[in-house]
Amino acid sequence: MVLNVPRGFKFVGINCGIKKCKKDLGIVYSEKECLAHGMFTRNLVKASPVIYDMKLLQENPRLIRAIVVNSGNANACTGEEGMKNTVRMAKKVAEKLGLEDKTVLVSSTGVIGLQLPIEKIESGIERAVNLLTDDPIQFAEAIMTTDTAIKISYRELELSGKNVRILGIAKGSGMIHPNLATMLSFLFTDAKISYDALKKLLENAVDKSYNMIDVDGDTSTNDTVIVLANGLAENKEIVEGTRDYEDFRSAFDEINVELAKKMVEDGEGATKLIQVEVINAADEKTARKIARSIVSSNLVKTAIYGEDANWGRIIAAAGYSGAVFDVGQLTLYLSDGYRKVKVFEKGQGILFDEEMAKQILSSTRVFLTIDLNFGNSRAVAWGCDLTEKYVQINGRYRT
């Protein structure tokens, strides 16, 4: 994969010994100070790097220069020693790159409750900083845990006559649920943009993407989304209310939705991507509640895995979503993107082609459309089926 990565960013990924042989340590470095904003897990139990980054970004959102990430160990529920190890990671990167400590962010992902092998990580950092390149692939590999594929999304666009680039790199396969769906997502751009605009863009993008996906109903201790913007594209500063803002927002949203969908497609043990679209709702809040509820239902997930057109599970999940709607107006369709079958209308099930429904559910992409017939708002959520393999993967996660 050849990418014109955002100007000024360098990447590296190596094995430092947390894992037996796969890459487990990644660093991203910017040649220039970055504006930065982050969003983090809503889990009350937060990993040490999450606590560290939240504080750092609150105090210092305009001078970030690097991110260091380890996989294979979450550094969560590790107490005072865990926080000291987070600080040691940041200090070592800063020392080797000639930076201030407060300019380095830290992320971890992996098994909860184990102390980091910090000496191995520090030794790995010493090696890694000499291997930084323009190629983001090794970094994408280094942040993976149970992922089966790297997750990268990229856009280039022209803003006021200047070429601007955006790159997104993520990991996520399990512990994914709509509250920052264990997931990490890092976004890099060379755009010159105001901090207020960057903050709003990220918060809105997360709401449309990572907060609308589900694999297994679990919200991790480490969920993190961070965006860095170093301004090296030398475009006119992007501010809200301009054409450049809208063009950048469109590309930025596309990247985050694409990364979010890659996560559920790569869900642990998954065989099918499920898209739930709620249309003609009274308002977006109603549509979002229903879409998220259905895509998070284990009964819906298992029915789709079994290729069983059990529409009752879908209607029930809509009903307990907390949204208010008139089931007497609701229509439900199943589709694979080519064929479409109506299975429920105006408060009750209807006769439908069972064989066609089974064929639709045998597809690797299943689309559920819920028409509330009550307004003009809509929302989309994404998930995956739940299989025996998910149990196998997570039944032996530590071993």
Cα–Cα distance for residue pair 218/317, rounded to 1 Å: 17
pLDDT exceeds 90 at position 334: yes
Same domain membership, residue 246 and residue 376: no
Question: Does the pLDDT value for residue 182 go beyond 70?
Answer: no
Same-domain status, 216 and 301: no
CATH number reported for the structural domain that contains residue 27 in this entry: 3.60.70.12
Contact, 153 vs 140, CB < 8 A? no
CA–CA gap between residue 293 and residue 370 (Å, rounded): 12
pLDDT confidence of residue 181: 46
Considering the domain architecture, whether residues 231 and 316 belong to the same structural domain is answered as: no
Residue 4 maps to a domain: no
Of residues 177 and 6, the one with the higher pLDDT is 6
pLDDT of residue 265: 81
User: Are residues 128 and 253 located together in one domain of the fold?
Assistant: yes
Contacts of 144 (CB under 8 A, 6+ apart): 22, 23, 71, 150, 171
State the pLDDT at residue 373. 95
Catalytic residue among 78, 182, 189, 219: 182
Q: Does a structural domain hold residue 288? A: yes
Q: Is 399 a catalytic residue?
A: no
Is there a contact between 281 and 325 (Cβ–Cβ < 8 Å)? Answer: yes
Q: For residue 104, what pLDDT is reported?
A: 98
Q: Is the pLDDT of residue 188 over 90?
A: yes
Mean pLDDT of the chain: 92
pLDDT for position 177? 54
Domain boundary among 263, 288, 315: 263
Number of domains in the chain: 2
Do 251 and 318 belong together in one domain?
no
- Amino acid 387: pLDDT: 83
**What b/e readout covers 60-76, taking b as 16+ CB neighbours within 10 angstroms?**
ebeebbbbbbbbbbbbb
In terms of domains, do 83 and 181 share one?
yes
Rounded Cα gap, residues 298 and 342, in angstroms: 22
- The answer to whether position 374 is within a domain reads yes
Residue 238 lies in a domain: yes
pLDDT single digits (tens) 353-396: 999 999 999 999 999 999 999 999 999 999 888 888 777 766 66
Integer-rounded Cα radius of gyration of the chain? 22
CA angle centred on 147, ends 143 and 149, rounded to 5° = 90
Which range among 159-163, 169-173, 308-312 shows the weakest confidence by mean pLDDT? 169-173
170: its two tokens: 């993520």
Domain end residue (candidates: 210, 237, 263): 263
Q: What span, in angstroms and rounded, lies between the C-alpha atoms of 290 and 281?
A: 10
Does residue 1 fall inside a structural domain?
no
Q: Is residue 305 located within the same domain as residue 178? A: no
Do 257 and 344 belong to one domain?
no
Q: Is residue 118 part of a domain?
A: yes
CB-based contact 132:93 (threshold 8 Å): no
Over 60: is that where the pLDDT of 179 sits? Answer: no
Catalogue the E-assigned strands of the chain: 9-14, 25-40, 64-73, 104-111, 151-159, 162-171, 184-189, 213-214, 224-229, 273-281, 331-335, 340-345, 348-349, 365-371, 377-384
pLDDT at 340 over 50: yes
Asked if 57 and 186 sit in the same domain, the reply is: yes
The domain containing residue 369 runs over which residues?
273-395
Name the residue type at position 371.
Answer: D
Domain boundary among 208, 234, 263: 263
Question: What's the CATH number where 354 sits?
Answer: 3.10.20.340
Give the C-alpha distances (Å, rounded to integers) separating 340 from 84, 181, 301, 349, 368. 56, 29, 19, 16, 10
- Residue 268 included in any domain: no
Q: Is residue 199 part of a domain?
A: yes
Q: Are residues 208 and 352 in the same domain?
A: no
Is residue 176's pLDDT more than 80? Answer: no
Residues 208-223 pLDDT 10s: 998 888 765 556 788 8
- HSE-up (13 A, CA, CB side) for residue 283: 4
Q: How far apart are CA 143 and CA 140, in angstroms?
A: 6
Query: Tens digit of pLDDT for each residue in 121-149?
Result: 999 999 999 999 999 999 999 999 888 89
Residue-level pLDDT at 290: 97
- Residue 161 tokens read as 């006559």
245 and 205 assigned to the same domain: yes
Picking from 72-86, 202-216, 231-245, 272-286, which range would have the lowest pLDDT averaged per residue?
202-216
Q: Measured at the alpha carbon of residue 364, what is the angle toward residues 308 and 305, in degrees to the nearest 5?
A: 30
Q: Over the stretch 216-273, which tens digit does the pLDDT of each residue have?
A: 555 678 889 999 999 999 999 999 999 999 999 999 999 999 999 898 887 777 889 9
What pLDDT does residue 43 have? 83
- For residues 183 and 151, the answer to whether their CB atoms sit within 8 Å is no
Question: What's the predicted TM-score (pTM) here?
Answer: 0.89
* 259 and 278 inside one domain: no
